[in-house]
Amino acid sequence: MKKIVYCVLAFAFLACAEENKKESNKKEAAQQLEVKSDLEKLASDFKFTEGPAVDAEGNVYFTDIPEQKIWVWTINGDLELFKENSGGANGLFFDPKGNLLACEGQEGLISLTTKTGKYQIIADEFEGLPFNQPNDLWPDQKGGVYFTDPKYGDEENLAQDGMHVYYISPEKKVKRVIDHLVKPNGLIGTPDGKTLYVTDHLGEKTFKYTIEEDGSLSYPSLFVKAGGDGMSIDQNGNIYLTTTGKKAVEVFSPKGELIQSIDVPEQPSNVCFGGENRNELFITARTSLYKVIPFIN
């Protein structure tokens, strides 16, 4: 009799736990599925837009790679030229101190521009060899920077022995932290600095890694079976990916579930949140810059 009672209680406990899990998943999905679909074209007539990055005020900087220019879409709704002769800048990001970091693909380096306009190169080689074509980057809160180094165009003559991901330490020492991807492209870290997401454009997969204290990465795991160009993250931990071959920004929950797809007239290259309240999603897509406002609880 005792065995029967124990079995019944165990079954009831498991059933209750499973029901709570389902209810929790339903609540999570309900909180994250509401995304407005009104898309606004802010500016056009560029050659190839990339690398949107938001500054402390909410202004969004982005690049036009072939034209070697960096533009700014201000919080007042104006388009301003920030820099010419950008070195073929691709990905941009502001570090915690407000410095603008840039992947200068044509020059094969990572640069830093201070608030006062002072320019410096923080990395241009690894083990005595130049980089392939730095593409996208993400700075941590400790003063370090992760960046991808693929190559587009002539892929047979690589400066490095493959297309990898690197970490620039706060002391400006460079180390390779990922070497198993085919062609790493976009990457983004979580606000708490514990996880790094990296998308493999050619491998058509996106992975996530645990960030260790020294900047190294561990416990690689598959996040979604989709590769892309750039990506961003919202306050709920959802990942916004410009998926390869789709004219859309796909939104994945922290568990890797597709919860929304935002259609864009042109193939998107990258995304970031900007505006005064950081609730506006800016999308660079080929010749244009777009904006949409997702509903985020």
DSSP string, 177-241: EE---SSEEEEEE-TTSSEEEEEETTTTEEEEEEEPTTS-EEEEEEEES--EEEEEE-TT--EEE
* pLDDT, tens only, 80-138: 999 999 999 999 999 999 999 999 999 999 999 999 999 999 999 999 999 999 999 99
| pTM recorded for the entire structure | 0.89
Whether 6 has a pLDDT exceeding 90, the answer reads: no
Provide the 3-class DSSP secondary structure of residue 63.
Answer: strand
Spell out a b/e string for 42-80, using b for 16 or more CB atoms within 10 Å of the CB, else e.
ebeebeebbbbbbbeebbbbbbbbeebbbbbbebeeeee
Domains of the chain: 49-236 (2.120.10.30)
CA-CA-CA-CA dihedral for 64, 282, 116, 102, to nearest 10:
-50
- The whole-number average pLDDT for the span 23-38 is 52
Nearest by Cα to 233 from 265, 277, 195:
195
- The whole-number average pLDDT for the span 41-46 is 98
The pLDDT confidence band at residue 11, using thresholds 50, 70 and 90, is very low
pLDDT at res. 155: 81
Distance CA 43, CA 197 (A): 29
| Kind plus residue range of the DSSP H or E element containing 139 | strand 137-139
Four-residue CA torsion sign, 172, 269, 85, 75 = negative
Nearest by Cα to 82 from 53, 123, 47:
53
Whether 226 has a pLDDT exceeding 90, the answer reads: yes
Whether 13 has a pLDDT exceeding 60, the answer reads: no
pLDDT at res. 24: 45
Distance CA 277, CA 246 (A): 28
Could you tell me the two tokens for 53?
A: 């990055």
pLDDT at res. 38: 83
Give Cβ neighbours of residue 16 (< 8 Å, ≥ 6 apart). none
Whether 17 has a pLDDT exceeding 60, the answer reads: no
Nearest by Cα to 267 from 254, 290, 285, 294:
285
